[in-house]
Structure 1
Amino acid sequence: MTQQPIGATPKKEGTALKVRKKPRRTIFLQMRKNYSSYLFLMPKLLLFILFVAIPVVWAFVLSFQEYKVFGSEFVGIDNYIKVFESEAFRIALKNTLLFTVVTVPFSVISALVIASMIFVLGKLSQSFFRSAFYLPTVTSMVIIAMVWRWMYNYEFGLFNYVLGWFGIEPLNWLGQSSSALWALIIMQCLIPFGVGIIMYLASMGSISESLYEAARIDGASTFKQWLYITVPLLKPTTLYLVLLSTIGSFQVFTQIIMMTGGGPGSATETLVHLIYKTGFRDFEFGFAAAQSVVLFVIILIFSIIQFRVLRHDE
């Protein structure tokens, strides 16, 4: 019999064996234990599978086919070759990139500045401005686009009326290639980014006041407190808003179809509007599916780059 060292706690025989034989919880057992929760999730999960997951998979499969109502034909990567050889796709990509590069930084930065100005106000004033800036978010973009189309009207639009005060000739904002896309960009920039303002206000409320007190003791000005404390600690929110607004700008559609239809010429053609025309006007569903897959890859690449640049380690 093996002797144990003096002072050592005696071991119970078979303890280690019993621990090794203890069954581990599997995913199936956990799901079985919490089956009632999954029953509540089941309707939403079924809707997601039917209207999101299956269409996405089918679009990817369709991108390798020349779709026909009776019997589609497998064409391999021919649709993708057509996408990269298409002049219309390159123009739409250029317009979409310009729209994104200008509107996303402006929207996020303006939301941060407006939220910072609102945060220092009293609770009643904060509630008022929250509602005021969030209101356009719940308004249909169709209605907003119709209002802005009237404002850009050549004969009786608000902008040309204001230009007339300064003796400037009226501009055909949406009717000429040089100004049509910039008119849409200006419209997007001047629509308040309500979601961003609300999220920034909520994030600012979670920053510890002790950080600002320490900065004030060290003699930091209000601007330096905002620049070196508020802005860095809002990086997670900034990352989310940049990703959200980038995806939204790459998918811009309502403004295009309501205000310009992609014209004049191809001056305001964007990727989603081009995909719509390819599929539902030209009935080239395989080609449209390939364009949508390429758009998905482009958005994914931009999202990865933004996540690496703006990721938060504090």
Structure 2
Amino acid sequence: MKPVQQVTNAAKPVDLARKTSVWTQIKKNYAAYLFLLPKLILFVAFIMIPVVWAFVSSFQEYKIFGSEWVGFENYVKVFQSSAFYDALKNTFLFTVVTVPFNVISALIIASLIHPLGKWSQSFFRGAFYLPTVTSMVIVAMVWRWMYNQDFGLFNYVLGLFGMDPVNWLGQSSTALWSLIIMQCLIPFGVGIILYLAAMGSISHSLYEAATIDGANGFQKWLRITIPLLKPTTLYLVLLSTIGSFQVFTQIIMMTGGGPGSATETLVHLIYKTGFRDFEFGYASAQSIVLFAIILIFSIIQFRVLRYDD
């Protein structure tokens, strides 16, 4: 027993030294922590506390005055709801189509811009990034006009070829695909900027060596550029996937989840459950399930696109 006691006693000074070292670093860099304090307070107040409260509320039948604890009843209700599965199916289809298209198109556009001169690169960076800073509400209103059955741009073009107008957003067969096409045609400005930055950090000696070995431009892009952009691709896929699973503005501005449930998505369903039906506990359970789904997809993407092999 004595050796074990000696090891235990020896560990105490080590723990004490670590605590002292941490406190020393805090005292040494107190100014930096003071600058971070406002952001930390905002994070705790507007993100951490609401997330914890949503998790607690998911086990309650939430009422403003006196909530009732119902255990896993809300979660059972989620998995028994056909509306939830319809929203999940629509959200999954939206994500599966838009995420690969946005990431691949951003990679191709960035690859075309990268060989250009400095001023040309700056112009195209601004041109493709500009739609990103535009409010999605405004973008959705413009697209809603273009999809209008009576005087929209798309039906006007169809009329020039003698074709009948299409009720793009008013019928189940075309409503969701109209939203998907809209999302695909909006430039993924963030992805283009990040890809251009990553391409600029690739050593030119790799391309020179490949040229000596007789590789053409496409082979260098395929064998050098794409593998070295894997960390950026992983980040953009994660970012785009999370955004697609949380699609909301386009839905509420253009279709309201209709016709029927043709364009209902998870976040819009959560919004209706909480702020239309006032079932806040049930809406909290739906949001926790959505978090779990996004987490599972993120883990899978990390496994598939990891670059530490």
- For residue 164 of structure 2, the aligned residue among 161, 165, 169 is 169
Give the structure with higher Rg (CA).
Answer: 1
Query: TM-score under structure 2 normalisation?
Result: 0.94
3-state DSSP of counterpart to 2:271? helix
The residue that corresponds to 2:8 in the other structure is none
Secondary structure, counterpart of 2:297 in structure 1: helix
Answering whether residue 58 of structure 2 is matched by residue 63 of structure 1, we say yes
Cα distance in 2, alignment partners of residues 53 and 69 from structure 1: 21
Identity %: 79
1:294 is aligned, of 289, 293, 301, to: 289
- 1:71-115 residue CA offsets vs partner (Å, 9 max, x unmatched): 000000000000000000000000000000000000000000000
Q: List aligned pairs for 1:112-151, cutoff 5 A.
A: 112-151=107-146
After the TM superposition, which residues 80-159 of structure 1 pair with which residues of structure 2 at under 5 Å, given as runs?
A: 80-159=75-154
Q: Supply the distance in 1 between the matched residues of 2:23 and 2:288 (Cα, whole angstroms).
A: 34
Q: Which residue of 2 aligns with 1:3?
A: none
The letter of the residue matching 2:197 is A
Equivalences for residues 44-59 of structure 1 within 5 A: 44-59=39-54
CA distance in 1, matches of 2:51, 2:22: 27
C-alpha separation in 2, matches of 1:147 and 1:37: 45
| 1:303 maps to 2:298 | yes
Q: Write the distance in 1 (CA, Å) between the matches of 2:30 and 2:127.
A: 43
Cα distance in 2, alignment partners of residues 243 and 120 from structure 1: 27
CA distance 1:23–1:188, change in 2 (3 Å): closer
- For the pair 1:75 / 2:76, whether they are aligned, the reply is no
Q: CA deviation at 1:23?
A: 4.4
Q: Please name the residue that 1:38 is paired with.
A: 33
Q: Distance in 2 between matches of 1:37 and 1:116?
A: 39
In the alignment of these two chains, the number of paired residues is 296
Letter of the structure 2 residue corresponding to residue 77 of structure 1? F
Give the Cα separation in 1 of the matches to 2:170 and 2:110.
Answer: 36
Q: Matches of 1:52 and 1:131 in 2, distance apart?
A: 32
Distance 1:270 1:23, change over 3 A: closer
Q: Distance in 2 between matches of 1:162 and 1:238?
A: 36
2:231 matched to 1:236? yes
- Aligned residue runs from structure 1 range 235-314, under 5 A: 235-313=230-308
What's the CA shift string for 1:187-218, capped at 9, x where partnerless? 00000000000000000000000000000000
Q: In 1, distance between residues paired with 2:51 and 2:24?
A: 31
For structure 1, list consecutive stretches of 5 or more residues without a partner in the other structure.
1-19
- What is the CA–CA distance in structure 1 between the aligned matches of 2:124 and 2:199, rounded to whole Å? 16
User: SS of the residue aligned with 1:26?
Assistant: helix
Question: In 2, distance between residues paired with 1:39 and 1:118?
Answer: 42
Deviations 1:238-280 (A, max 9, x none): 0000000000000000000000000000000000000000000
Change (3 A) 1:214 1:160: same
Q: Judging changes above 3 Å, is the alpha-carbon distance between structure 1 residues 38 and 120 closer, same or farther for their aligned structure 2 residues?
A: same
**What is the match of residue 217 of structure 2?**
222
Give the C-alpha shift of residue 27 in structure 1.
2.0
Larger helix proportion of the pair: 2
* Counterpart AA for 2:59: F
Q: Structure 2: which 5+ residue stretches go unaligned?
A: 1-12
TM-score normalised by L of structure 1: 0.92
- Computed over aligned residues only, the root mean square deviation of the Cα atoms, in angstroms, reads 1.4
Cα distance in 1 between the residues matched to 2:38 and 2:308: 37
Instruction: Decide whether aligned partners of structure 1 residues 312 and 155 sit closer, same or farther in structure 2, where only a CA change above 3 A counts.
Output: same
